[in-house]
Amino acid sequence: MHLDQKVSLKAFNTFGMEVEARYFVEAKTHSEVLTLLNYRHMIHMPILFLGGGSNVLFTRNFGGIVIRISSKGIAIREQDETHVLVTAEAGENWDEFVQYCVNNRWCGLENLSLIPGTVGAAPIQNIGAYGVEVKDTIDSVQVVEIDSGKQRRYTNEECGFGYRDSIFKQELKGRVIVLNVTFKLLKINSQASLSTPPPSHSSANPHLFKLDYGDIRPELDRMGIQVPTISDIREAVCNIRRRKLPDPAEIGNAGSFFKNPVIGSDLLVSLQQSFAGLPCYPLPSTPGTAKIPAAWLIEQCGWKGYRSGDAGVHPDQPLVLVNYGTATGLQVLGLANQITDSVYQKFGIRLETEVNVIQ
């Protein structure tokens, strides 16, 4: 390991914020992570553990040590005729891991294609897209406690998964580092159709094929595919995301900046009476509640395509705040706060951010 001083973090955050870390080091193995944890007791400055930098907004230079988790490796733990348990190290690129699974015809992650970030960040945020959340496929998460250096594996049930939430964002925030994640995926043959699950697939199996969420079926129709394979699903999702979401390599962004709010039935009825066409999605898991698309709320407040200097709202996807070049983190955060206030004033709904803001 090599400890560098005054390192630019522009290449390590997808917003492309030009900030620097006082110290910067990469940890490429579990033992290097443990060594750094021992070292932290000898210093008196803040420490930030960074993965792919796809879910973070820096508003200033970081006056401590940034530790980038860069561990690599994918290994099969167990498998039988229908399922495989595969473990990926925290530093693995998420989309490359999804591609790896699709290439092996392991089903469950294809709807989560092209999401930026690393494997280690996936359970923390409980990333989701097109009707799938990563919790649906996670078997367990191995972590190390920052203070003690002890390792522990959390089962799916112990992870406390919720909508864009987990125990790692709540009770264990700042207390543990994700080392690797084990996924339970369904094995299919190359001719298997995702619209007709194989006989081994039962209602008790957590891996459900999702083709009816968003634009997946229309995209498959556009591709001329009636009986899709797992590779077709991944390609369709990638096509949709590339059209709707900006590439961080071209325009700085961290994907969806806000969560889709979940509201109770009383507020929902009131809003439906006041706003015709209000989209909502009842949550069967939580009777009496419904999810409202934050993008719709933001667009109704006139923010879609808004730009102030180099900080703006993407013209095609209001959920995405962007850095067109030289915006600062404070400018993007100020815009986010303006949006939050206007949505609250109009709808009585307080938006929550998905992005981790470093202030």
Cα 355 from chain centroid (whole Å):
9
Structure tokens at 237: 């999702």
Contact by Cβ (8 Å): 120, 151: no
Decide if 54 is catalytic: no
Tokens of 307: 């730009």
Q: Name the catalytic one among 26, 110, 133, 354.
A: 354
The single residue of 54, 70, 113, 256 carrying the catalytic annotation is: 256
Give the dihedral sign, CA 97/100/106/107.
Answer: positive
Alpha-carbon span 308 to 332, nearest angstrom: 9
Q: Where are the beta strands (DSSP E) in 38-120?
A: 47-50, 56-58, 62-69, 74-79, 83-89, 106-107
Active-site residue among 164, 166, 234, 241? 164
> CA-CA distance, 172 to 144, in Å (whole number)?
11
Q: Which secondary-structure segment (H or E) carries 335?
A: helix 329-347
Active site residue 256: yes
Give yes or no: 164 in active site.
yes
SS3 state at 86: strand
Q: What angle do CA 172, 27, 183 make, to 5 degrees?
A: 55
Return the active site residues: 164, 256, 354
